[in-house]
Chain A
Amino acid sequence: MNFIDLLKRIPEICKTPETLPLEGKKLILDFVTWLGSLVGIAVPPWVLTLVNILVVIVAIIAVFLIMFALMSVWERKILARAQNRYGPNRVGPWGLFQPVADGIKMLTKEDIVPRNADKVVHFIAPIVMLVPALILPVLLPYGRGMVAIDLSVGILFFFAVGAGSEVAIFLAGWSSRNKYSILGAMRAIAQMISYELPLVMSAVIVALVAGTLSPTGIVEAQGGYQFGFFPNWFVFTPWGFVACVLFYFSALAESNRSPFDLPEGESELVAGHLTEYSGFKYALFFMAEYVGMFAINGLLVTLFLGGYQAPLPFLTFIPSWCWFFIKLAFLAFSLVWVRATMPRFRIDQMMQFAWKFMLPMSFAALFSAAAWHYAGRGLLGWGISAVLVAIPYFALGYFCFTRHHSADNRRYLFSE
């Protein structure tokens, strides 16, 4: 093996975009072997394992951080356009270098620690926040065979690691010794614990239907097309649609996005648990929130939107990993769209929404999924399951909401 051969393989790899990342990884491993031969030693297998792990870690972190950077500018652009503004357009072409400018700004800002803060905990909190967020993406299947760790209990792993961010928010809020911070932290924890239930419940439904907890297994279960063109994604079943929407809203709540951004609701709590953070620590929180948001939406793609599967059979020429990121980008766009539209919930309404609406709905979806399964997963099952989710939806909607609040029940009197 020599270097020229390695170089020659690059165009070859690029010819088949489907397997490009996998082949690229192999190429790097071969490169390491070649380096070893240059020094004159046979590279032992554990080094290769280590390099393999490192390559995956670097790739995942790099991809997600680049996505974070792009998202931070893209979000502002979309939000601006939805609000009839231009958005950032001064730094670089179309404002694309805005994240660079933001990063420099964040780095050069003074790092302020309040006098009475618990300094150690105040320092640790952003790290505790970022680490789980960066671990989360490892189990997502980005393409065929492209998964860093193919865990048989992947979904469980996701929720277990995700629990770490609650601790981090608590640390941040408590250590700041600020009333807004502690209120924000309490809100954050109440919210995350409440929404974890519908989140896990809707994931459980999928796990039950797919018969596996492994993300790859779940994506494979959604492969193939009904009638030759209709994708077998779970979102296109009634129960799946409901579970997907529940998961989507729970994911919004878990990643503290509008309309569930109560913990940092700036109109009430200034910035909640982030009030006393500045400079790079603040940037770390920000980064963790975005990476966590991508991860949880990646899980949504995996669970309901068919992961890396193409939506239509003739579109399979686009590599599978592209499909994953296209779907993720669509979800990211929808997050901003939601943010541009909705006001924030109030804390008690948010809890009511979680416990009185979303949790019962997730049980209904579970029931409906069972009906769908036992009715043979066909059109009949589709119909039954649709009825089984529609009835609780309208009933709960009426009892939880329309009964109390409606614009139609108001009367306005006019005097000449």
Chain B
Amino acid sequence: MNFPGSGIFKGMVVSAINLFGSYFDRAHAKRLITEQYPEERPTLPEASRSFPFLVFDGDPEKGIRCVACKICEKECPPQCILIEQDRDENGKLLRRPKVFNIDISVCMGCQICVESCPFESIRMDNIYEVSSYDRFDSLVLPKEKLLKSNEYYHSIHPTEAAETDARIEAARLKKEAAAKAAAQKMAAAKAAAEAKAAAEQSSQPESQA
């Protein structure tokens, strides 16, 4: 059926189907997919990422995983991370950050810091309501705001967090095993040394005297 104007007619039918369909197709979200944002909130997929945060275990002061190695600061493509290493009262460098700032108005959420972090310390958050009237005070996140617990990490990226924990656990076990082995070795060495020393002592008591 191809009379002049039939194409327009077909188009009108399609737009009418969409017009009325948007009232009836709602349940399957086939046609009307708009989310009414402040009331309806999207369920973010697990992989969803926005800005980085720092993971800590247990206590935010002691459990901080970051060792201020500054790898992420170097790798960050837009250079939005600023890290200063902490020092103790004697001025000796400590393996934890004193300042850890992320300027999220510069951050582009690329996740390269996460990939480059060898200590599983920096991870991606999925917050998205961060707009503010103040460019510097509220968009430059200091360490206090960046620190979030491992439980929070588990709540937003369960699969990834479980993998991370497993990795850390494996590393810990390996380390422990290594430490144990080392300790055993050391103990053995020590024992051997003591034995040797004892033997020496026993063999040369006179020379000392």
- Tell whether any CB of A sits under 8 Å from a CB of B in the complex: yes
Residue B33 at the A interface, CB < 8 A? Answer: yes
- Shortest CB-to-CB span from A220 to chain B, Å, is 33
Residue A197 at the B interface, CB < 8 A? Answer: no
Q: Are A81 and B8 in contact (CB under 8 A)?
A: no
Contacts of A94 in B (CB 8 A): none
Given that A78-B19, A84-B18 are known contacts, is A338 also in contact with B33, CB under 8 Å in the complex?
no
* Extra pairs beyond A82-B16, A396-B4, A398-B4 (4, CB < 8 Å): A81-B18, A81-B23, A338-B12, A397-B5
A338 to B23, CA, bound (A): 19
Contacts of B78 in A (CB 8 A): none
Residue A83 at the B interface, CB < 8 A? Answer: yes
A85 to B18, CA, bound (A): 10
Chain B residue at smallest Cβ distance from A408? B2
Given that A337-B16, A338-B12 are known contacts, is A397 also in contact with B34, CB under 8 Å in the complex?
no
A86, A337, A398: which contacts B12 (Cβ < 8 A)?
A337
- The A/B interface has a contact count, at CB < 8 Å, of 51
A85, A337, A401, A407: which contacts B34 (Cβ < 8 A)?
A85
Contacts of A82 in B (CB 8 A): 15-16, 18-19, 22
Write out, one digit per residue, whether chain A residues 330-346 have a CB within 8 A of any chain B CB (1) or not (0).
00000001101110000
A78, A86, A397: which contacts B3 (Cβ < 8 A)?
A397
Q: Are A86 and B15 in contact (CB under 8 A)?
A: no
Q: Are B34 and A341 in contact (CB under 8 A)?
A: no
Q: Please list the 5 inter-chain residue pairs (A to B) with the smallest Cβ-Cβ separation, ordered nearest first.
A: A397-B4, A82-B19, A341-B15, A84-B31, A341-B11
Residue B202 at the A interface, CB < 8 A? Answer: no
A82 to B36, CA, bound (A): 18
- Shortest CB-to-CB span from B180 to chain A, Å, is 64
Q: Are B11 and A84 in contact (CB under 8 A)?
A: no
Contacts of B16 in A (CB 8 A): 82, 337
- Taking residues whose C-beta sits less than 8 angstroms from the other chain, chain B's interface range is 20 to 34
Residue B32 at the A interface, CB < 8 A? Answer: yes
Residue A402 at the B interface, CB < 8 A? Answer: yes
Contacts of A86 in B (CB 8 A): 32, 34, 36
Write out, one digit per residue, whether chain A residues 81-99 have a CB within 8 A of any chain B CB (1) or not (0).
1111110000000000000
What is B's interface to A at a CB cutoff of 8 Å? 2-5, 7-8, 11-12, 14-16, 18-23, 31-34, 36
Contacts of B19 in A (CB 8 A): 78, 81-82, 337, 340
What is A's interface to B at a CB cutoff of 8 Å? 78, 81-86, 337-338, 340-342, 393-394, 396-398, 401-402, 407-408
Q: Main SS of chain B's interface residues?
A: helix
- Shortest CB-to-CB span from B32 to chain A, Å, is 5
Given that A337-B19, A338-B12, A341-B11 are known contacts, is A394 also in contact with B4, CB under 8 Å in the complex?
yes
Contacts of A85 in B (CB 8 A): 22, 32, 34
Chain A residue at smallest Cβ distance from B11? A341
- Shortest CB-to-CB span from B55 to chain A, Å, is 39
- Shortest CB-to-CB span from A250 to chain B, Å, is 16
Given that A78-B19, A84-B22, A84-B32 are known contacts, is A341 also in contact with B4, CB under 8 Å in the complex?
no
A78, A342, A393, A408: which contacts B8 (Cβ < 8 A)?
A342
Q: Are A394 and B3 in contact (CB under 8 A)?
A: yes
B11, B23, B36: which contacts A342 (Cβ < 8 A)?
B11
Contacts of B15 in A (CB 8 A): 82, 337, 340-341
A86 to B33, CA, bound (A): 9
- Shortest CB-to-CB span from A287 to chain B, Å, is 26
Q: Are B22 and A341 in contact (CB under 8 A)?
A: no
- Shortest CB-to-CB span from B14 to chain A, Å, is 8
Q: List 29 A-B contacts (CB under 8 A).
A: A81-B18, A81-B19, A81-B20, A81-B23, A82-B16, A82-B18, A82-B19, A84-B32, A85-B22, A85-B34, A86-B34, A86-B36, A337-B12, A337-B15, A337-B19, A338-B12, A341-B12, A341-B14, A341-B15, A393-B4, A394-B3, A394-B4, A396-B4, A397-B3, A397-B4, A401-B4, A402-B4, A407-B7, A408-B2
Chain B residue at smallest Cβ distance from A334? B12
A406 to B183, CA, bound (A): 86
Chain B residue at smallest Cβ distance from A340? B15
A86 to B23, CA, bound (A): 10
Interface centre among B4, B8, B21, B34 (most CB of A within 10 A): B4
Q: Are A81 and B22 in contact (CB under 8 A)?
A: yes
- Shortest CB-to-CB span from B72 to chain A, Å, is 41
A78 to B19, CA, bound (A): 7
